[in-house]
Amino acid sequence: MSENVLSGKRVFITGATGFVGPHLCERLLKEGAEVVAFLRKMVWRRPKNILHLKNQLEMRYGNLRDYGTLLDATKDIDIIFHLAAQTHVPDSVGDPLETFEVNAIGTLNCLEAARKNDIDLFINSGTAKICGDPLYLPFDEKHPNLPHAPYDASKIAAESLCMAYYKTYGLKVCMPRFTNTYGPRLDRRKVVADLIYYLLRNEPPVIRSDGTPIRDYIYIDDVIEAYMKLVEKPNAVGEVFLIGSGVGTSVLDLCNLLIEVSQTKLKPIILGQPIPGEIQEEYVDISKAKKLLGWLPKIDLRTGLSITWEWFNAHPEFLEE
């Protein structure tokens, strides 16, 4: 990215102990930013994803549902990356109220704190899932939002609030929507990490669905590069961008590719269980990000899975509960 865009900027990150957050923190520190991580104390008890950065970051503690704490925590901040969310679709089906409170009300609290503190830029972390069952493939930013699960609906609400703050108050916001992100330090509740867990134990990987759902998998480094482009490009403000590989891959094909890169001869166990709230098929058109941001993914799925496999093979403890 352009030199010195982030150098010396004070950057606030919610969700810093998740999967994407620590990777983003690493890149921001490399770019010369001063990084402030917003953490829940209960999360910081097991900070394995971000532990290696704790001496380079400033930590502030609180909860997305507490507006007052967020207002105080962002008083001296230039840019907010809002990544924190309840991201598991089955959990949203089981507890839609908590999902909405975290994802929608939490985002509203962050936006209001940003407005009151005159934040220069607010980057929301959205999801391609808000389009629901696509009417066409690959789908683009013009596709209507058709929520399939409470998670989807909560993220639509969050993004709508971002747009409202942009149009009403002039708060500069960017609204990327990401597909299925994977890479080192991925949570085992995500399919790539779960399949690797079994392969590392030399056990047949378990596919809980029938293996046919199709998803768009994007490697973490490409996601972080997209975040950098959003900061760099003034024409990103007020815009929605789909960020993915643009390629659809079934869960079974994903599993077989992981078996190949891990050089094992295991056969998957297919349970064929329906997963509440899940969409059957999704992959995205990334032409808008290419045109306006100059962004394209560089890591193909085989390469990304190989890197991810090698990392977890060297750090198997990250997949232990």
Residues 93-139: tens digit of each pLDDT: 999 999 999 999 999 999 999 999 999 999 999 999 999 999 999 99
- Within-domain flag for 278: no
pLDDT at 42: 59
pLDDT tens, residue by residue, 78-88: 999 999 999 98
CATH number at residue 16: 3.40.50.720
Q: Is residue 230 part of a domain?
A: yes
Look at strands 58-61 and 249-250 and give their pairing: unpaired
CA atoms within a 13 Å half-sphere pointing along the CA-CB vector of 240: 22
User: According to the model, what pLDDT value does residue 45 have?
Assistant: 46
| pLDDT recorded at residue 47 | 59
pTM: predicted TM-score of the whole model, two decimal places: 0.96
User: pLDDT tens digit string along 140-161?
Assistant: 999 999 998 999 999 999 999 9
Catalytic residue (one of 67, 151, 165, 219): 151
CB under 8 Å to 247, separation ≥6 — which residues? 216, 217, 283, 301
Q: Is 205 within the bounds of a domain?
A: no
In a domain, 231, yes or no: yes
Q: Which amino acid is at 121?
A: L
Predicted confidence (pLDDT) per residue in 177-230, tens digit: 999 999 999 999 999 999 999 999 999 999 999 999 999 999 999 999 999 999
SS (H, E, C) 26-82: HHHHHCCCEEEEEECHHHHCCCCCCHHHCCCCEEEECCCCCHHHHHHHCCCCCEEEE
The pLDDT value given to residue 254? 98
**Is 151 one of the annotated active-site residues of the chain?**
yes
Domain presence at residue 294? yes
Beta-strand relationship, 249-250 and 214-215: antiparallel
Tell me whether residue 146 is in a domain.
yes
DSSP string, 173-235: EEEEEE-EEE-TT--TTSHHHHHHHHHHTT-PPEESS-S--EE-EEEHHHHHHHHHHHHH-GG
Residue 292: DSSP 8-state: I
Domain span including residue 287: 10-184+218-246+283-299
Q: From residue 304, how far is each of 53, 155, 268, 307 by CA, in Å?
A: 23, 27, 20, 5
In a domain, 208, yes or no: no
Number of domains into which the chain is organized: 1
Q: Name the token pair of 221.
A: 């480094």
Report the residue count for the chain.
321
**Dihedrals φ, ψ of 284, to 5°?**
-120, 160
The per-residue pLDDT for 242 is 98
